[in-house]
């Protein structure tokens, strides 16, 4: 099979047709149906588009992604194809347009193969909140892949797609990447257009990629990021990673509260200590920095994201989109019954939490306070990057757990302890495959850079990989 974009490009260069590549992927997807990674495979449009790209290849006009097969998280819109955010409430809904990020990949001749399972409205850390069943980790039976982009992680890891797209609001790309041995990139907030991404928490959401190499992560980033007139929060800064004068000896910051975190799995801790030693031996400068806010991160994240979610999800009312309760009589009942029947329990919990923190009397105590904490976190993080080039931290405290093993929502929320930081502050971060635990499951390591320094982030990954 084709592990990377480079493998696909080689196959196309050596005369393999895009159609046969696409068919090989379709076959592999079918053979791995038990993983429940795909909610739908777009067989018809795949075949049609593959033939069109083949014509371009013959004419010598094909783009760099000819033959590359992309899977999309089921919250990314692809015109004339269904999208559901893994929720019953979007039953029967078809996208009216294509997300900008996806369109840019299609413009380079990538083929969109299908939509991938995820936690409902991207709320979750294990993909167990999908209305269409959980996803199986391809590394170990009966284990979760992480979430919320669990289907995207597994599809990339099991090579059911060349690359996949997910969304990262609090770690939903990096955390499942860590648990499936893939690369998961969350760019700087404002790098990736959110046009055509179903909103969860708009000031946190970014589209990110799952790939089987760092070079692929960089290429997909370069081709899909950048200003978009359809999303006013996108930055007009140059995207291309053309800088070459990077420091060969990096200044790397370690957050003490992360590397010495009591919840860290001993094997992850040990492997991290080894890496730090190797980095020192290679002449990189390692500095420990203190970030005494770990206890505030997850709560702040949940106050602010639920507030935004309660507003964003008000549009799903049984009138505008998708599912409408058959039982309902009258407008008010249509809203109440459609939402009651259409949303799953975690989504309801968050809408209610969000409504509460925004309510008169609690707004200042929760929402305003959360915004203030977010500012403190951002300021302190900016200070770090005046001192160091990159921050190095675990992606996840441990490895994937068994299905149904974590029942307490707070326990589940703590899976994101090391990933929410980059979303609260908007910084770019990437999870890189780091090791395989004695339990047979993989785990990642995370690098974070100053805002809009994705090029330095990729440089850091290269340096890290020289040692891994």
Binding residues for ligand GLN, per CB under 6 A? 122-125, 148, 167-172, 200, 416
Rounded to the nearest 5 percent, the helix, strand and coil shares of the chain are: 45, 15, 40
* DSSP class of 33: G
Q: Which two tokens stand for residue 138?
A: 């391809």
d(CA 300, CA 425): 12
Q: How far is the CB of 260 from ligand GLN (least distance, A)?
A: 23
d(CA 442, CA 233): 35
Q: How far is the CB of 172 from ligand GLN (least distance, A)?
A: 3
Q: How far is the CB of 353 from ligand GLN (least distance, A)?
A: 11
Whether 416 contacts 158, CB under 8 Å: no
Q: How far is the CB of 249 from ligand GLN (least distance, A)?
A: 33
d(CA 235, CA 231): 9
3 state SS of 11: helix
Nearer to ligand GLN, 169 or 395 (CB): 169
d(CA 66, CA 8): 8
Q: How far is the CB of 173 from ligand GLN (least distance, A)?
A: 7
Catalytic residue chosen out of the listed positions 130, 172, 310, 431: 172
d(CA 306, CA 352): 8
Whether 160 contacts 37, CB under 8 Å: yes
Nearer to ligand GLN, 418 or 458 (CB): 418
Q: Which of 283, 254, 270 shows the shortest CA–CA distance to 466?
A: 283
Catalytic residue chosen out of the listed positions 95, 99, 148, 431: 148
Q: Nearest residue by C-beta to ligand GLN?
A: 172
Q: Answer left, alpha or beta for residue 246, where phi above 0 means left and psi between -120 and 50 means alpha.
A: beta
Nearer to ligand GLN, 189 or 200 (CB): 200
Whether 158 contacts 137, CB under 8 Å: no
Nearer to ligand GLN, 324 or 350 (CB): 350
For residue 153, give Cα distances in angstroms to 173, 179, 193, 326. Answer: 8, 8, 21, 36
Nearer to ligand GLN, 261 or 278 (CB): 261
Nearer to ligand GLN, 152 or 172 (CB): 172
Q: How far is the CB of 301 from ligand GLN (least distance, A)?
A: 7
Q: Answer left, alpha or beta for residue 322, where phi above 0 means left and psi between -120 and 50 means alpha.
A: left
Whether 341 contacts 325, CB under 8 Å: yes
Residue 172 bears catalytic tag: yes
Nearer to ligand GLN, 86 or 125 (CB): 125
- Cα torsion angle, 217, 250, 431, 213, sign: positive
* DSSP class of 236: -
Q: How far is the CB of 399 from ligand GLN (least distance, A)?
A: 16
Catalytic residue chosen out of the listed positions 73, 186, 271, 463: 73
Catalytic residues: 73, 148, 172
């Amino acid at each position: 099979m084709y592990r990377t974009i480079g493998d696909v490009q080689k196959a196309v260069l050596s005369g393999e047709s895009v159609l046969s590549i696409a068919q090989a992927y379709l076959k592999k997807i079918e053979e791995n149906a038990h993983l429940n990674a795909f909610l739908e495979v777009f067989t018809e449009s795949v075949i049609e588009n593959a033939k069109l790209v083949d014509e371009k290849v013959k004419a010598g006009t094909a783009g760099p992604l000819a033959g590359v097969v992309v899977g999309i998280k089921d919250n990314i819109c692809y015109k004339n194809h269904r999208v559901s955010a893994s929720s019953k409430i979007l039953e029967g809904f078809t996208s009216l347009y294509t997300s900008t990020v996806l369109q840019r990949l299609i413009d380079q001749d990538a083929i969109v193969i299908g939509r991938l399972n995820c936690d409902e409205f991207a709320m979750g850390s294990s993909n167990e909140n999908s209305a269409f069943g959980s996803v199986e980790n391809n590394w170990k039976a009966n284990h979760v892949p992480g979430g919320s982009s669990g289907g995207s992680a597994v599809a990339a890891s099991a090579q059911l797609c060349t690359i996949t797209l997910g969304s990262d609001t609090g770690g939903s790309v990096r955390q499942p990447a860590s648990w499936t041995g893939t690369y998961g990139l969350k760019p700087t907030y404002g790098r990736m257009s959110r046009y055509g991404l179903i909103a969860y928490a708009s000031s946190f959401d970014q589209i990110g990629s799952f790939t089987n190499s760092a070079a692929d992560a960089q290429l997909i980033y370069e081709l899909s990021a950048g200003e978009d007139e359809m999303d006013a929060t996108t930055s007009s800064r140059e995207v291309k990673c053309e800088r070459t004068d990077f420091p060969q000896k990096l200044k790397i910051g370690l957050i003490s509260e992360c590397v010495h975190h009591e919840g860290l799995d001993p094997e992850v801790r040990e492997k991290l200590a080894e890496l730090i030693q190797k980095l020192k031996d290679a002449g990189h400068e390692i500095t420990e920095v203190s970030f005494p806010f770990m206890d505030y991160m997850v709560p702040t994240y949940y106050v602010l994201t639920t507030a935004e979610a309660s507003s964003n999800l008000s549009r799903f009312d049984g009138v505008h989109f998708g599912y409408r309760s058959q039982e309902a009589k009258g407008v008010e009942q249509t809203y109440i019954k459609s939402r009651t029947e259409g949303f799953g329990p975690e989504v309801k919990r968050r809408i209610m939490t969000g409504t509460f923190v925004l309510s008169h009397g609690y707004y200042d105590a929760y929402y305003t306070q959360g915004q203030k904490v977010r500012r403190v976190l951002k300021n302190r993080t900016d200070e770090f990057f005046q001192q160091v080039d990159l921050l190095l931290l675990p992606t996840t405290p441990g490895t994937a757990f068994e299905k149904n093993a974590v029942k307490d929502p707070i326990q589940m929320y703590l899976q994101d302890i090391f990933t929410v930081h980059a979303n609260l502050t908007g910084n770019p971060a990437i999870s890189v495959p780091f090791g395989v635990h004695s339990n047979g499951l993989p785990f990642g390591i995370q690098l974070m850079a100053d805002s809009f320094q994705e090029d330095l982030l990729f440089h850091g990954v290269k340096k890290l990989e020289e040692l891994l």
